[in-house]
Amino acid sequence: MKLTLILLAVVAVGQLGIPGYMIHRQEQTLREGRAYKFKTAPVDPYDAFRGRYVALRYAQDHAAWTGTNVVRRMPAFATVVEGTDGFAVVSELALTRPAAGDFLRVMVHYSGWGTNAGMAYFTLPFDRYYMEETKAPMAERAYWDNNRRGQTNLNTYALVRIRQGHGVLEELFVDGRPIRDVVRERQKEP
Amino acid sequence: MSDQKYVRWLNAELPKLTGAGVVPADVAERIRAHYGAGGEGGGKRGAILVFSILGGALIGAGLILLLAHNWDEFGRPTRTVLSLLPLLVAQALAAFVIWRKSESGAWREGVGVFWVLAIGASISLVAQTYHISGDLPAFLLTWTLAALPVVYLLNSSTAAMLFWVGATSWAGSLYWEAPGRGWFWVVAALAVPHLWAVARVDRYRPRVAWLLWTLGVCAAIGTGFGLDHYRGAVWVPVFTSYFAALYLIGELWWGEGRTIWQRPLQTIGALGVITLAVILTFEDYWRHWAQRKEWLLLMKSPLLVMPAVAVGLWGWAWARRNTVALLFGALPVVTVAGRFVPGGLMVVAMNLYVLGLGVALIGLGVRDRRLGVVNLGLLVVSVLIIARFFDSNMSIVVRALAFIAVGVGFLVTNIVLIKRTREAQ
């Protein structure tokens, strides 16, 4: 029994290590990572109701591709720089880790054609913003209201911290304000 | 350690012995007390066990939902601590069970289920707090592997069943991304020592049957996910071997099981063999698929182990003169032989094989007066006839007569058998 309890202690530490490591990695990136604003994309307002999170899409979905053939769901490295407008830009996608600068691990799906030849389409690893179940639908509506097709102004973006290829979604901004504040205001409205 | 199978037998014999005056009643009672009730099936204990497993599952699921509400007003540090809570509670309960209640199946299984669910809950709660979209295969594999120690520390068969379901889900989540990976078998094998340890005490206890049913079904699905869907024809030798081997392993180690429930491997294996054999009586497969070069890929793949095992076990069935096992085990041999035989001939061979299987089952059932086996044989023959009606050019009159003949066969055999059984009694 004593041996079993010792083994249990070892296993317990190991199991706690999984969420523990996840927490550590996220916190470290939030603390030390550089902040980038990723501009969100117009969404289809008829997208399925998600309930507990806001489904995010980003304005930039393709970038220059330096690898060979593209296979669906191929892991790749995206070099991230800050554009002149203050929003993040993926300047290049590659199969190898960039030597310098900030980068993210992304999934590449297919290569571009026509005017987009030499490009590849990718998805960023943060496409969900989780919220309390009562707030998420309202937040999603606020996000939609500010991401309609044809709207151009909007200062709607995801604030992401990046450190050593690891990105953490810190906050979602709708029209320049954190989505929590927007939701809180909307909840007060009759 | 007493062998539960003999204890059950002894318990069944004791009333006869006291009735015949061979053993005095008080001695019989002392013998019974010495060996225990035998089996784990004792109604009350069984019910407690089932309810404790259900309880563990429900509390675990409820806790997950409660925390999934995402109490975002608590702020990140509090929620981070809350995320670890289910896991900490489960571990503390496990320590208590090992310390105090290691003899109680209800405690071990109930806490085992809760613990396995708590691992998944903690990981997904952290993912929710930090908006990690996540990679489903990685999440499932992490969860499944982290749950493995639960099986052994608590000696929990329910945890082992969940482990196999987890491994199968992981293989499924990988299917569209990286097909053709054989790692499912490596992961699934990690819980097999538990099955061995449980079966060593008594192969026919209910726990073993539960484990075998789960493993037999999960491994069939996992094998399917492990096959590369671009290499069409490989599934035939692999699946025929899998189901045939399952049947033969069942006969080899669990041959004395009486009910369908106690013969999980034979049941799954037989159903698989019959289904595949009927599918392979259609011309399409042999005309379009069997001659493809993809078969050669099998020669380089670790999956070759499966046909090898099936053929090896078939040899054992020969040695034992076990006719039904020989017939069920013959399917992979027949299909592999089909690689070297013209397609048209194979269609005839497969039809004869299924017919032979059906007739043999009917014959065996009649001989042993087992109505279920007879009806299974008749079912096989009927399915074969119905299948032929889809692709043959037989006239409607011939089809009608064939149906009537099989129908009459069904009725007559059943009536005769029921009569004989009554007479024998």
For residues B363 and B420, the model is more confident at B363
Q: Confidence class of residue B290 from pLDDT cuts 50, 70 and 90?
A: low
Chain A residues near residue B155 by CB distance under 8 angstroms: none
Q: Do B72 and A180 touch (CB under 8 A)?
A: yes
For residues B281, B283, B286 and B288, what is the CA-based torsion angle, rounded to 10 degrees? -150
Q: What is the pLDDT of residue A42?
A: 58
- Distance, CA of B61 to chain centre: 25
Q: Which of A1, A15, A23 comes nearest B98 by C-beta?
A: A1
Please give the angle made by the CA atoms of B49, B54 and B60, to the nearest 5 degrees: 130
ipTM attached to this prediction? 0.80
Q: How far is CA A20 from CA A15, B112, B326, in A?
A: 9, 22, 54
Note whether B74 and B114 are same-domain residues: yes
In a domain, B420, yes or no: no
User: Which pLDDT score, from 0 to 100, does residue B160 have?
Assistant: 96
Quote the CA–CA distance of B310 and B248 in Å, as a whole number: 8
Q: Is B87 on the interface with A (CB under 8 A)?
A: yes
Angle between helices B206-226 and B192-201 (to 10 degrees): 160
Under 8 Å between Cβ of B21 and B74: no
Whole-angstrom distance, CA of residue B56 vs CA of residue A153: 52
In a domain, B391, yes or no: no
A135 touches chain B (CB under 8 A): yes
Is A4 in CB contact (< 8 Å) with chain B? Answer: yes
Query: Which of B129, B142, B153 lies at the smallest CB-CB distance from A7?
Result: B153
| DSSP-derived pairing of the beta strands A119-123 and A62-64 | antiparallel
Average pLDDT, chain A: 81
pLDDT at B3: 55
Predicted confidence band of residue B1 (pLDDT cuts 50, 70, 90): very low
More confident residue, B154 or B368: B154
Strand order through the sheet with A102-111: A62-64, A119-123, A102-111, A74-82, A88-94
Q: Give the count of Cβ contacts less than 8 A between chain A and B.
A: 88
Quick one: CA dihedral B309, B287, B221, B386, positive or negative? negative
| Residue B262 belongs to a domain | no
B253 to chain A, closest Cα gap in Å: 31
Among chain B residues, CA nearest to A127: B133
Q: How far apart are CA B320 and CA B322, in angstroms?
A: 5
At B114-164, the pLDDT tens digits run 999 999 988 888 888 888 876 788 889 999 999 999 999 999 999 999 999
Asked if the model's pLDDT at residue A19 lies above 60, the reply is yes
Q: What is the pLDDT of residues A129-159, one digit of tens each?
A: 887 777 777 777 777 776 665 555 467 888 9
CB contact under 8 A, A22 and B128: no
Boundary-marking domain end, from B134, B153, B172? B134
Q: What mean pLDDT is reported for chain B?
A: 82
Q: Is residue B58 part of a domain?
A: yes
**What value does the mean pLDDT take over residues B40-67?**
78
Average pLDDT (B35-64) is: 74
Model confidence pLDDT, tens digit, residues A153-163: 467 888 999 99
Chain segment B303-359, per-residue pLDDT in tens: 778 888 888 889 888 888 878 888 899 998 888 777 777 777 888 888 889 988 998
Asked if A133 lies within 8 A of B95 by C-beta distance, the reply is no
Residue A46: its pLDDT value, please?
41
**Type of residue at B111:** V
In a domain, B75, yes or no: yes
Tens of pLDDT, residue by residue over B387-414, are 887 766 667 777 778 778 878 877 887 7
Q: Do A52 and B177 touch (CB under 8 A)?
A: no
- Flag if B133 and A128 touch (Cβ within 8 Å): yes
Q: Give the pLDDT confidence score for residue B324 in this predicted structure.
A: 83
Residue B367 pLDDT grade (very low, low, confident, very high; cuts 50, 70, 90): confident
Residue B218 domain-assigned (yes or no): no
A150–chain B nearest CA distance, Å: 28
pLDDT(A47) > 50: no
B67 part of a folded domain? yes
**DSSP label at A59?**
S
Q: Which of B134, B166, B188 is the last residue of a domain?
A: B134
| CB crowding B9-47: b at 16 or more within 10 Å, else e | ebbeebeebbeeeebeeeebeeebeebeebbeeeeeeee
Residue B2: pLDDT over 50: no
A161 and A35 Cβ atoms separated by less than 8 Å: yes
Q: Does A110 touch chain B (CB under 8 A)?
A: no
Tell whether A7 is within 8 A of chain B (Cβ). yes
Burial of A6 (0-12, 13-18, 19+ CB in 10 A): exposed
Regarding predicted confidence, which is higher, B91 or B367? B91
A185/B112: higher pLDDT:
B112
Q: Is pLDDT at B270 greater than 60 in this prediction?
A: yes
Contacts of A4 in chain B (CB under 8 A): 98, 102, 153
Domain count, chain B: 2
User: How many Å from the N-terminal Cα to the C-terminal Cα in chain A?
Assistant: 62
**Does position A45 have pLDDT exceeding 70, yes or no?**
no
Mean pLDDT, residues A173-188 = 80
* Residue-range definition of the domain harbouring residue B112: 49-134
Mean pLDDT of A83-111: 88
Q: Which residue of A has its CA nearest to B73?
A: A132
Predicted pLDDT at A43: 55
Considering the domain boundaries, does residue B140 fall inside one? no
What is the enclosing helix (H) or strand (E) of A186?
helix A179-188
Residues B4-23 pLDDT 10s: 667 777 777 877 888 887 87
Q: Are residues B74 and B28 in the same domain?
A: no
